[in-house]
Amino acid sequence: MDGKIRVLVVDDSAFFRRHLSKILSAHELIEVVGTAADGKAGVAAAHELKPDVITMDVEMPVMDGITAVKQIMAEVPTPILMLSSYTYSGAEATLDALQAGAVDFIPKQSNGTSNSMKVLAAMLVQKVLAVTKNRVLKSARLTPTQTTPSRSRESPQVVQKGGYGLVVIGASTGGPVAIQNLISSLPGSFPVPLVLAVHMPGNFTKAYAERLDGLCKLNVKEAVDGDRLAPGKALLAPGGKQLSFTRKGADTFVCVNEGKKEETYKPSIDLTFESAAQVMHDSVLAVVLTGMGADGCKGAGILKQKRSTVWSQDEASCVIYGMPQAVEKKGYSDMVLPLSEIGPALVKAV
């Protein structure tokens, strides 16, 4: 990468503008080129400075963050990271911002402790580096995705129709809108239960599940311990917890627990995939969508050992081609598809 990553910080709090600027400027690859105290000033600064990435607060005077995102994406498209509160209303606003075109979000810790600030700093730098890695903007907006030819591996599972008892979908960065896009294309009569796992905080997944339920023909809810898998029903793994499976007679149920303190991801897509493999064996169809890192890769390998099927999203339609790339590089992907083709392919497969 030539030169530093140029960042614009937009936040109505003078404290957060200084704090975020200090965090970002401390990294050798990042330069803060400007700040703005409201959305209108942020839009003007985006035009003037043409930064590589923008951090954007949600609630601001003069012009709120969601309106600013819409205007920036329409006039001078730039990767935008939202800074949002942990509240339910903050979650709803963040989801609106993601649909408007923001690529990802970072929840602001409400307690202001030293540890929470360290967590914020680490997440902020990591995500700024990730979304600008290739200096190519890939909007997460809910619009038709770029279509590229699908690729498949020669495998009995690819051509097999039916025989699936579960579709489980994992995602991270760019995932909330990608999943919304995907499952909105599925009919209410979809004959196989779905489980969704996306890296989101606990206070966000309830609002996200309610949004999906209102937009989709499927019945979508945030999973609770003991929920039974059923056709036409999608269960969303709650943020901050782990989701696995158990079998009782002919029925399969989800187990939701706090997990272990040292676990990096909650929910962990690896853990959910692995549990699906152990309980459902060869009847799982797993889909790995856009996301930073490699969560889901280990679990995909265990699914393949059990002769289940794994699909992954293609690079062109990903916001971050981390998780799907890890699965594809290991040779676990039976099919690599653009996001726009995954829903129709699922309907044909089951």
In 146-241 the beta strands, taken as DSSP E runs, fall at 151-152, 166-171, 194-198, 219-222, 233-236
Give me the catalytic one of 84, 85, 172, 317: 172
User: Which residues 6+ apart lie within 8 Å of 13 measured at CB?
Assistant: 57
Cα dist. 33→24, 36, 104, 306 in Å?
11, 11, 20, 51
3-state secondary structure at position 25: helix
In the chain the beta strands, taken as DSSP E runs, fall at 5-10, 30-36, 53-57, 80-84, 104-107, 151-152, 166-171, 194-198, 219-222, 233-236, 242-248, 251-257, 284-288, 309-313, 335-337
Give me the catalytic one of 52, 104, 295, 334: 295
Concerning whether 47 is annotated as a catalytic residue, the answer is: no
Concerning whether 199 is annotated as a catalytic residue, the answer is: yes
Give me the catalytic one of 12, 57, 199, 333: 199
In the numeric block, which tokens belong to residue 148? Answer: 């590229």
Closest-CA residue to 105 (of 120, 83, 123): 83
3-state secondary structure at position 60: coil
- Tell me the one-letter amino acid at 203: N
In the numeric block, which tokens belong to residue 129? Answer: 């580096």
Concerning whether 295 is annotated as a catalytic residue, the answer is: yes
Active-site residues, by number, are 172, 199, 295
